[in-house]
Amino acid sequence: MALFSNRPVGCSFASLPTSFYTRVAPRRLTEPRLLHANPAAAALIGLGTQDLSSPDFLDLCSGQGRLNGIEPLATVYSGHQFGVWAGQLGDGRAHLLGDVGGPEGTWEVQLKGSGRTPYSRMGDGWAVLRSSVREYLASEAMAGLGIPTTRALALVASRDPVMRETPETAAVVTRLSPSFVRFGHFEHWGHSAAEQAALLNYVVTHWFPECRVGTVTEPDLPATACRLLTEVTRRTARLIAQWQLVGFCHGVMNTDNMSILGLTLDYGPYGFMDAFQADHVCNHTDTQGRYAWNAQPAVARWNLYRLAGSLLVLGCTASDLESCLAPFETEFLRAYHAGLARKFGLSDWHPEDAQLGDDWWALLHAQRADFTLAFRRLADVESDPAPWLDLFADPGAAQAWLTRYQSRLVLSGPPATGRRAAMNAANPLYVLRNHLAQQAIQAAQQGDPSEIDRLFDLLRDPYTERPGHESYARGPAADIPAVAVSCSS
């Protein structure tokens, strides 16, 4: 393909035994239309803006083109869904086109919503425009926030009808990631020593070479697995701390949606909180609240236990594996406290600050204050506390917290001018609130992608205030019904 004539193109996943995947062609879309393309993601694989309007690009992102002739494949993985072993799950509607060596690393190119595969189970292989817009915008919003994530390269819409609760239309998101390997890939091979060893070697060779114990030809598998698990534990803990600090709820933290690289993966019924509620559940399908905001750290740890269990087959001992999971709590707290200190404008975190932090969440929770604005407006309380106090129904309680906070700032904060800029660089003004995503979806369903453009531009740099975009910083109006998101996608 001319698009990548100067780039190294391959498919490293296909170096694994054929039991790991099936070669299968994506489905042809009817009248595919490029609704949006992402120049920043394109640059990662060496594409320029001019390439994004080429017919080859549309062909690639609608499943008709091939990366230098490589036959696409679907990988096999399993996992635990809502705490229960679910067996084989996917890829039910994703096709890996291959990988491209970009200026700063190699990226796998994957289509999502591109048709049935041998792992589709009862699914139709489609993804609807609604969920595809949500995935497309959310992954770039996370990148804009500086949170590890898969990236979105292109959004292609079509007229193909798809039946969900109501009739919708099909769309395909092209995603980029160094790897799409999930905890679920390891769980799938948890009873097959040879395949698990192959997967471990593959993952360590490409993404965790520092974890290898022994040589490539004679690796010490249990020791290598332990090192990998320790590193995945650390990355996952840091990732979840970052989610917590922007009020992001993933919504379906099943083990098959957990990236081995510690990236945010698979955007479905996620939610950025408006009014803060510690036990907020963003996914209406999650009736038990398993994936509530305040449950995410514990769930991540539970998921890491499932990953650990799948490594027993390599000869690791349970106690060794358990000690690899031990850093989770310290790593999570370290990242969470450092992040909260930045958001509060503190130059460092003291153990006594934990109480101030706990009381912050209790205050926001009791008054259902807006998560994003409560942090953002804190930067301005020294000059004028009124806009911040306005976020609280009971300003007396807010003022009491504020007084303690201000005396803490006096203790060790940097000068006030530098602090304001630093806080604004740590507290986004714009997040992908559900009602904003919904506006973009409804316009796109009517054939108008301009709201996707606007959100995309805003969320790429969510820390910089943009005049004329005041409404994008606010929560939903009280008189519009809350957007209900579910696993339907």
Q: Which of 204, 219, 195, 207 is nearest to 18 (CA)?
A: 195
3-state SS string for 76-112: CEEEEECCEEEEEEECCCEEEEEEEEECCEEEEEEEE
Q: CB nearer to ligand AMP: give 91 or 140.
A: 91
Alpha helical stretches, state H, 47-190: 55-61, 129-145, 183-188
User: What is the distance between the alpha carbons of residues 401 and 359, in angstroms, rounded to a whole number?
Assistant: 8
Rule CB under 5 A: is residue 266 a binding residue for Mg ion? yes
Restricting to residues 418-447, which ones interact with Mg ion according to CB under 5 A?
none
> Alpha carbon 238 to chain centroid distance?
13
| Residues facing residue 169 across a β-bridge | 161
CB 153, CB 108: distance < 8 Å: no
**Smallest distance, Å, CB 181 to ligand AMP?**
13
Report which residue type is found at 76. Answer: V
CB of 26 to ligand AMP, least distance (A): 13
Cβ nearer to Mg ion, comparing 20 with 371:
20
Q: Which does 178 bind (CB under 5 to 8 A by kind): Mg ion, ligand AMP, none?
A: none
CB distance 236 to 308 below 8 Å: no
**CA nearest neighbour of 272 among 485, 489, 487, 454:** 485
In the complex, the smallest distance separating the C-beta of residue 327 from ligand AMP, rounded to whole angstroms, is: 27
Q: How many CA atoms lie within 13 A of 310 on its CB side?
A: 30
My answer on whether omega of the bond before 56 falls inside 30° of 0, hence cis, is no
Amino acid at 341: A
**Shortest Å distance, C-beta 112 to ligand AMP:** 8
- We find the least distance from the C-beta atom of residue 209 to ligand AMP, in angstroms, to be 28
Residues contacting residue 363 through CB under 8 Å, at least 6 positions apart: 369, 392, 397, 398, 401
Segment contacting Mg ion (CB under 5 A): 104-112, 262-270, 386-394, 452-460? Answer: 262-270
Distance, in Å, from the CA atom of 316 to the CA atom of 229, rounded to the nearest integer, reads: 11
Q: Encoding tokens for residue 228? A: 């990998």
Coil, helix or strand at residue 126: strand
Instruction: Choose between 182 and 234: whose C-beta lies nearer to ligand AMP.
Output: 182
Q: Which does 213 bind (CB under 5 to 8 A by kind): ligand AMP, Mg ion, none?
A: none
Residue 353 annotated to the active site = no
Phi, psi of 48 (to 5 degrees): -100, 170
Which token pair is 63?
A: 């499943």
Using the minimum distance from each CB to ligand AMP, give the nearer residue, 125 or 219.
125
Cα 313 to chain centroid, rounded: 29
**Least separation in angstroms between CB 119 and Mg ion:** 12
d(CA 47, CA 68): 15
Backbone phi and psi for residue 4, each to the nearest 5 degrees, phi listed first: -120, 30
CA–CA distance, 29 with 285 (Å, rounded to integer) = 29
266 vs 451, which CB is nearer to ligand AMP? 266
Q: Nearer Cβ to ligand AMP, position 91 or 353?
A: 91
Where would I find the H helices in 369-484? 371-376, 386-389, 395-412, 416-424, 434-445, 450-460
Note the residues at the interface with ligand AMP (CB under 6 A). Answer: 89-94, 120, 123-126, 252, 256-257, 266, 268, 487, 489
Segment lying near Mg ion (by CB under 5 A), choices 200-208, 231-239, 264-272, 474-482: 264-272
Whether 441 and 336 have beta carbons less than 8 Å apart is answered as: no
Distance CA 106, CA 96 (A): 14
d(CA 157, CA 449): 10
Pick the closer one to ligand AMP by CB: 44 or 127. 127
Minimum CB distance to ligand AMP smaller for 113 or for 428 = 113
Q: In degrees rounded to 5, what are phi and psi of residue 332? A: -60, -50
Catalytic residue (choose from 51, 91, 99, 256): 256
User: Of 158 and 257, which has the nearer Cβ to Mg ion?
Assistant: 257
For residue 256, the minimal CB distance to Mg ion (Å) is: 6
Least distance between ligand AMP and beta carbon 157 (Å): 16
Among 75, 110, 158, 257, binds Mg ion (CB under 5 A): 257
Instruction: Residue 93: name its binding partner from Mg ion, ligand AMP, none (Cβ under 5 to 8 Å by kind).
Output: ligand AMP
- Report, in Å, the least distance between residue 445 CB and Mg ion: 23
* Binding residues vs Mg ion (CB under 5 A): 257, 266
Catalytic residues: 256
